[in-house]
């Protein structure tokens, strides 16, 4: 039996994303934090299933990854229940789950996102690239 994973707590603003989707950016990489691989949601999308709270309101969903960012979609019903609008800071807790209801929600929500051209390769995700200058050649 795998060890129990502790919930993660963070605060993040609710943002308006591509195609009018609202989301909170997740400040960690679930692959590193939870040592779990994402699950397939369709042919080109994958994510980590989660159970958690948003401003105290219980929800299930998924953590997606696009544009070098991890995110959780926040649907209109959850926004209303949590009494949040775009720009508001949200208190979020989450833990990974394997529930079939979270998978069903994730598959429906994933349809609202832009699919990557290719399914991501397994392994660690790239992080922000550092910009380093090449070392100058020594003078003779």
Instruction: CATH number of the domain at 34, please.
Output: 2.40.30.100
DSSP assignment letter at 20: G
Q: Is pLDDT above 60 for 133?
A: no
Q: Which domain holds residue 31?
A: 8-110
How many separate domains does the chain show? 1
30 φ, ψ (degrees, to nearest 5):
-60, -30
Under the banding of pLDDT at 50, 70 and 90, the label for residue 117 is low
**Within a domain: 126:** no
Q: Is pLDDT above 80 for 98?
A: yes
Tell how far CA 103 is from the center of its chain.
14
**Which has more pLDDT, 77 or 1?**
77
**Within a domain: 119:** no
Mean pLDDT (whole number) for 30-45: 93
**Within a domain: 70:** yes
Under the banding of pLDDT at 50, 70 and 90, the label for residue 130 is very low
**Within a domain: 64:** yes
**E strands within 39-124?**
39-40, 46-54, 57-66, 69-73, 89-96
**Within a domain: 125:** no
Q: Mean pLDDT in the chain?
A: 86
- The pTM score is 0.79
User: Which of 15, 12, 22 shows the shortest CA–CA distance to 113?
Assistant: 22
63: three-class secondary structure by DSSP = strand
**Within a domain: 122:** no
Q: Is pLDDT above 50 for 128?
A: no
| pLDDT confidence of residue 41 | 93
**Within a domain: 132:** no
Over the stretch 46-72, which tens digit does the pLDDT of each residue have?
Answer: 999 999 999 999 999 999 998 889 999
Tell how far CA 65 is from the center of its chain.
6
**Within a domain: 1:** no
């Amino acid at each position: 039996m795998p060890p129990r994973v502790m919930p993660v707590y963070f605060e993040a603003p609710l943002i308006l994303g591509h195609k009018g989707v609202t989301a909170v950016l997740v400040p960690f990489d679930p692959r590193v934090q939870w040592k779990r691989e994402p699950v397939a949601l369709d042919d080109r999308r994958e994510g980590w299933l989660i159970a958690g709270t948003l401003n105290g309101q219980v929800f299930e969903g998924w953590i997606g990854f696009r544009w070098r960012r991890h995110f959780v979609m926040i649907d209109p019903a959850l926004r209303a229940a949590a009494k949040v609008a775009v720009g508001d800071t949200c208190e979020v807790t989450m833990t990974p789950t394997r529930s079939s209801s979270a998978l069903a929600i994730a598959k429906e929500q994933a349809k609202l996102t832009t699919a990557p051209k290719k399914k991501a390769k397994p392994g660690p995700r790239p992080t922000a690239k550092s910009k380093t200058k090449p070392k100058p050649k020594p003078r003779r």
